[in-house]
Amino acid sequence: MFPSLGRMAKLYFRYGTMDSAKSMNLLAVAHNYRKQGKRVLLLKPKLDDRFGSTKIASRSGLEADADYMVDGDETLAASLFANIDCVLVDEAQFLAPEIIEQLRRITFDPGVPVICYGLRTDFKTRLFPGSQRLMELADRIEEVKVTCQHCQKKATFNLRLVDGKAAVDGPQVQLGADESYIPVCWGHYESALAEAMGTKAPQRAPR
């Protein structure tokens, strides 16, 4: 016989491209919890200081102060999660895999649901380490959708722009805003890279 596991909450990963309103979604969820008198803990990576060291901000204008900034692969204190009803994490792709594993354990002990928001892949279409661990461990993986900046197709990739042209090289983490990254579909992603490299984009097969 297996022992009773008691209260078991879920780990969620809600991912989307840049400009898909992930932070706005997070802030709306936080508002709804608090409206019901529930206690929410807001976490974010310490390195994300685009809107201020403690700010979780949406481009729609909504913002809130994070309750805790996660630094590196530190050990999160159990006291952080005492008497908490839900943990909401912004920019989860920047978290170390070890932090994701700790958040996974929190859903079992003390049994608090954790909802992580972030990018799935970088500008080279490679998984961020934090996102990869979330894809491996999350109970539920949900896409926050937005259309391509250049057409009506769903955006699935993050295009990094440098001086108006697609970046083909550079560090994985390079914090920016609207002028640095745009959400695009695969066709416009490939076309932008081809233009930047001076090559010809692959032709679509005729229908």
Q: Give the residue numbers annotated as catalytic, written as ranges.
A: 91
Give the three-class secondary structure for 130: helix
**Amino acid at site 15:** Y
Beta-carbon contacts of residue 166 (< 8 Å; ≥ 6 apart) = 159, 160, 192, 193, 195, 196
Contact predicate 12/140, CB 8 Å: yes
Angle in degrees, CA 142, 148, 154, rounded to 5: 40
Q: What are phi and psi of 154, to 5 degrees?
A: -70, 135
Nearest to 87 by CA among 100, 97, 74: 100
Q: Helices in the chain by DSSP H: which ranges?
A: 22-35, 97-106, 129-137, 186-197
For 15, 32, 122, 123, 145, the CA distances from 126, given in Å and listed in that order, are 14, 34, 5, 7, 19
